[in-house]
Chain A
Amino acid sequence: MTRDTGHDDGDERHGTNNTDESTEGSSHSDGVVRTDGGSDIESDDRTATDGGVESVTGGSDSTELDPDAYDPIDVFPEGELDLRDGADSCYKCTSCDTSCPVAEVDDEFPGPKFQGPEQWRLKRKEDADIDESITSCSNCMRCDDACPSSVPLSQMHNEARGQFVEEQMEKLSVEYVRNRILANYRTSARLASIVPRLSTYAMNFGPARWVMDKTLGIPKEREFPEFATTTFREWWRDRGGAQVSNPDKRVAYFHGCYSNYNTPEVGKAMVRVYEHFGYEVMVPPQKCSGTPMFANGMLKDARRHAVTNVENLIEAIGEGADVIASCTSCSMSLRQEYPELFDIHGIEDVSDHTFEALEYLRIHEDLTGALEEASPGDERSYAYHAPCHARNQGLSRQAVETFRDVDGVTMEDVGDSCSGISGTYGWKSEKYEKSMEIGEEMFHHMEDAEGEVGMTECPTCAMQMEHGTGYEIEHPLQLLEDTLVA
C-alpha cells in the first residue's frame, strides 16, 4: 500500500554534491582537504593529524606562514557528506535550542544543537549510533533561521534521521510502518480520492479511529482532512488546461498533494490569479515534494519522488517557466532540501527557479498597484499565522503586508510561535499532546485577534489552526482571487 511504483531506480547515493562546495577555497583534488592554518580554532590533536608540524607560523620569531609546512590530509572517506565546516562554525551560543519549539515542551528532547553539530562530532570520533531522540525533531527548521553562524542544522538533522531510520529502526515496527504511511501521504490520498466521500467518512469513523490510535499510533483526536470530490488535476483536465497562452510569462505550478486531493480551491485560485496577470500556467506531472518523508527519515522515498519532480520541472524550466508552489513546505523542499540532500541532474536549477505563489507575484507584478483600488467586496478579518517554513524563506510577513492596506480587509499576525503540528509530527499519538502544547500560544493569539477566519500558506498548519480554534482557514491565494478576479 505504501509502495510507490515507477522511478524506483534504487540509487542510494545522495548528498555528495556538497563536498565540493564545503571544501572550496582550499585545495581539493580528489576530495582531499588541505588545511590552511588560518583557523582560529584548532584542536589539540591537530598537529598529530597533519604530519606533526609544531607551529603554523614556523616559530615564535617569525610571522611568515610556511605553506610547505602542511600536508594535505584525507579527512573523510570518499562519498560521505562533509559537514565539518558546518560543525566547526558552531560556537555553542545555543540560539538554536532557544528557537526550538519541541525543546520548549519536551523534556526528553535534547535540542537542535545536540542533534546537529554535537551528534555529528560524536559520529566522527567513534562510530556511535544516532541517538533515537532525532525522531522527535519535527523538522520545522527554525534552528536554521536562528543560527547566527549559518550552521546547516536542518541538513544535519535530515542526514542523521535518514541514517537512523535506514540503519537502526526496526522495519517491522508499528512506528516504522505508521511513519512510512504518514510520510507517503500522497499514496494514501491518491487511493482515498478514488472514493472521496467514503474515504472522508471512513477515516473519521469513530471506532476505526480508536483502532488506528491503538494499533498504528495515529491520534484519535485528530480529524482527517476531507477529500475533494474533484481533484485539482481532474478540474484542470476538465477545463482543458491553460486558458492563457503566453511564451513570455510562463509558470509551472507545483500544487503538491494537498492542493490536489484536499483543497483544490487553493490550486484553482492560483490558476485564476496567475491567468489574471497574463501568465500561462503549466501543470507538469509531479509527486510528493518530500517534506513528510524528510521529517520521517524516509530519504529513499523522498529521493524517488524527487527524481520525477526534478525531471518534469526541469523540462518546464527549459520551456521558459519558473516553478510556483502554493504550499510553503513544498517550496522550501524544492529550494533548500533538494540541493542539500540529493545529487540529481538539474536539481540546482529547480532550486534557483522555485518561488512561493504570492512571493513571485510581489516580485514580478505591481501587486500593490493592483490592490490599491480593489476590494473583496465585503468586510473580512483574518488571523494570519506564518508557517515555520515560510519564515525560513523570508516570507513570514508577506500576507500581512500584501493585504494590510486592502479596502475591507483586516489582517492580523498572530505572532511568531510554531503551530506545533509540523507536518506529520502532530499526527503521531505519542506526540499529539506536545503538538497541542506548542500550538497553545498560537491558539490564544488567534482567539485574541479580531478575525474569526484563519489564514496560512501551509496545509498542516491550517489543520492545526482549525483543530485548535474551530476556525475556517483560508490560503492567501483565495483572498487574492476574491479581491482581484471575482
Chain B
Amino acid sequence: MAIDSDVLVVGGGLAGITAAIAASREGADVRLVSHKASTLRQASGLIDGLGYVPATEPAKPLREGPPTAGRNLDPDEWPDPEGPLAEPYAGIDSLPEEHPYRLVGADALRDGLALFDDLVGDAYVGGHTDRNALVPTFGGGVKPTARYPESVAAGLASDDRPMLIVGFRSLTEYDARAFADRLEASGVPFDVAGVEVEFAEAFRADAKITRFAKALDRNEPVDGTPAREALAKAVAPHLHDVVDDDGNVDRVERVGFPAFLGDDEAAAVRADLADRLGADVFEIPMGPPSLPGLRLEDRLYDALDAEGVRFETGIPVVDYETDADGRIQHLLLNRKGSKIPYGADAVVLATGGLVGKGLDSDREGVREPVLDLHVPQPSDRYEWFVDDAFGEQPYARFGVRPDERLRALDENGAVAYGNVWVAGAVVGGADVAREKSASGVSLATGLVAGQEAAREVRQ
C-alpha cells in the first residue's frame, strides 16, 4: 500500500513550500517531501523579485568557427545590465521570452509575494509598496529586494541617517571597515563608519553563528556580563565614530551587526540592544548558513503545519512508476534502504537548480535526476559557459522547460507524463543570481504550479 496524497511536492525550499500551500488552499490534500533539511537555511532571508535585467546578447556577434574557450568575448563587449530596477514588475517585459516570469506573467509574481506576506506576517516588510528596497549585504553591496526581514529594516540604503557597522576580528569573512568603505564608495546618502569590537573573542575562534545567537537568546554571561549587555558595552564607545564630509561628528542613529542577533528571541535581542545603545539596531544578511534563512525556514514550516500540509524531510526520491497512460503513479522514496511508494495524482517538482542539485551534470550533459525530464542544452559543452566568471553564463539558464501552466515539457515540446508540474530553480530560462530574482521566481512558479496541480486533481 502506498502513502497517498492528491498532490505530492518534491523539494523543501521556497518554491516547494509555496506550491504546497497554494495547492492546499485550492482544496487538495498535499504532502511535501525533501531529501535534506530545507535549503532556506542557506539563503540570505531576503526575498527578491527582480533587481536587474542582464543582457542576453553580446554587443557584437561571436566569431565564427568551432566553439572553444578562446571564442568567448571580453567582458567589456557585453552591454551592462539594466538596473537596479526601481520596481520588479517594470522589467519583466524586457526579459527573454522563455523566462519563467514571461511564462506565468507579472500577476503571478504579485500573487506569489502576496501569499508570502500572508505566511510571514509582520516578520517581513516591503509589502506596502511595489518598489524595490535597497538592502546592504555583507560584501558591501546593495541588493534590490522586494521583501526583507524586519530585522534588516533599519539598515536600508535609502535611509539617510548616519550608520555604524559593527564587526568582529574573529569573523574573518565579515570586515566591517571594508564594508563601510564600499558602501560609502557606492554613493549612499548617509555617513557610515565601520568598527571592530571585542565580543566574539570570548568565544572559541571558529565559533558557529548559532553559538552567538544562542548566547544572545539566553543572555548567557560572557566573562561575567550578560551577553546582550556585553555586546552593547563593546559598541557604545563607538557611537560617535561617524564623521561627515565637513569633519563634523554625528552620533549614529542606527547600528548594523552581522546577522546573528538571536534565533528564537531575535526581536527581544534587537530591542534590548537598541535600548542600551539609544539607536536602531539592524542585521546585515550574510553568506550561508544564515540566521535570517533559518528563521524563515522555521516560520514557513510552521505555516505548512498550520495549513495542514504533511511534510517529511531526509528521504530522497530514487525512482518512479507510471500507469498505463504514462502518468506518474508513484514516486519511490528511499528510507534508509527500503524503497517506499508514495502515490499522487499530481506531482510538483521543486528540487532546485544546479546548486540545489535539482539538476545534475557531468561532461556528457545536464540532467534532471528525479524524473529524467528534458533539459534543453547545447550539445557542445563549450557552449555551456563563457570565460567571464560573472558574465552571461548560458548554464545559469539551464533547466526544465514548461508550458505556461508550468507542466513539464519533453524534448518534442509535448507535456511530459501528463501530471508533472515544475517550480523554482529547476525551471529553466532565468539567471536568478544576476537578475536578483531567485525568490520571486520560486514564489511565482510555486504559486502557479501548486494551483494548477490542485485544479487538475479536483477535476
Contacts and interface: CB of A to CB of B under 8 A. Distances in A.
A interacts with B: yes
A300 B37 CA distance: 32
A110 B203 CA distance: 11
The 7 A-B pairs at the shortest CB distance, nearest first, are namely A394-B315, A335-B336, A98-B289, A352-B337, A351-B337, A394-B314, A394-B312
B211 A104 contact: yes
A359 B1 CA distance: 12
B122 interface: no
A150 B41 CA distance: 16
Most buried by B among A104, A348, A398, A401: A104
Given A95-B289, A363-B1, A397 B41 contact: no
B208 A364 contact: no
Contacts of A380: none
Nearest to A142: B37
Interface residues of A, number: 53
B77 interface: no
Interface in B264-308: 264, 288-289, 294, 298, 301, 305
B264 A441 contact: yes
B248 interface: no
Nearest to B33: A394
A339 B207 CA distance: 33
A354 interface: yes
B214 A98 contact: no
Contacts of B251: none
Nearest to A366: B1
B85 interface: no
Given A147-B36, A335-B337, A394-B313, 5 more contacts: A95-B42, A100-B210, A148-B356, A353-B338, A401-B310
B76 interface: no
A179 B36 CA distance: 32
Nearest to A335: B336
B206 interface: yes
A315 interface: no
A104 B313 CA distance: 22
Contacts of A348: 337
A110 B204 contact: yes
A105 B214 contact: yes
A38 B362 contact: yes
A448 B208 CA distance: 28
A99 interface: yes
B371 interface: no
A365 B288 CA distance: 42
Contacts of B336: 332, 335-336, 351, 354, 392-393
Contacts of A335: 335-337
Contact of B335 (A366, A393, A401): A393
Contacts of B395: none
B444 to A, nearest CB: 24
B389 to A, nearest CB: 14
A104 B37 contact: no
Contacts of A413: 305
Interface in B289-348: 289, 294, 298, 301, 305, 310-315, 333, 335-338, 340
Interface in A90-120: 93-95, 97-100, 103-105, 107-108, 110-111, 114
Given A93-B288, A145-B36, A355 B41 contact: no
A343 to B, nearest CB: 16
Contacts of B128: none
7 contacts: A97-B210, A103-B208, A104-B208, A107-B203, A107-B207, A363-B1, A365-B1
Contacts of B315: 393-394
B305 A148 contact: no
Contacts of B338: 352-355
A394 B204 CA distance: 33
A97 B208 contact: yes
Contacts of B213: 104
A346 to B, nearest CB: 13
Interface string B15-27: 0000000000000
Contacts of A63: 68, 381-382
B218 interface: yes
Contact of B41 (A95, A104, A108): A95
Interface residues of B, number: 46
B269 to A, nearest CB: 15
Given A145-B37, A413-B305, A391 B313 contact: yes
B216 to A, nearest CB: 12
B377 interface: no
A359 B362 CA distance: 36
Nearest to A362: B3
B362 A103 contact: no
A398 B33 CA distance: 13
A223 interface: no
B15 to A, nearest CB: 16
Contacts of A352: 337-338
Given A145-B37, A363-B3, A397 B312 contact: yes
A244 interface: no
Contact of A397 (B1, B209, B310): B310
A103 B211 contact: yes
B363 interface: yes
A184 interface: no
B240 interface: no
B357 interface: yes
A98 B340 contact: no
A145 B313 contact: yes
B36 A146 contact: yes
Most buried by B among A63, A100, A110, A336: A63
Nearest to B202: A107
B393 interface: no
A396 interface: yes
Contact of A148 (B39, B203, B211, B314): B39
Given A148-B357, A335-B336, A392-B314, A95 B288 contact: yes
Contacts of A391: 313-314
Nearest to B39: A148
Contacts of B294: 98
Nearest to A103: B208
A396 B310 CA distance: 11
Contacts of B382: 63
Interface string B201-238: 00110111111011000100000000000000000000
Interface string B347-358: 000000000110
A440 interface: yes
Contacts of A393: 314-315, 335-336
A392 B36 CA distance: 9
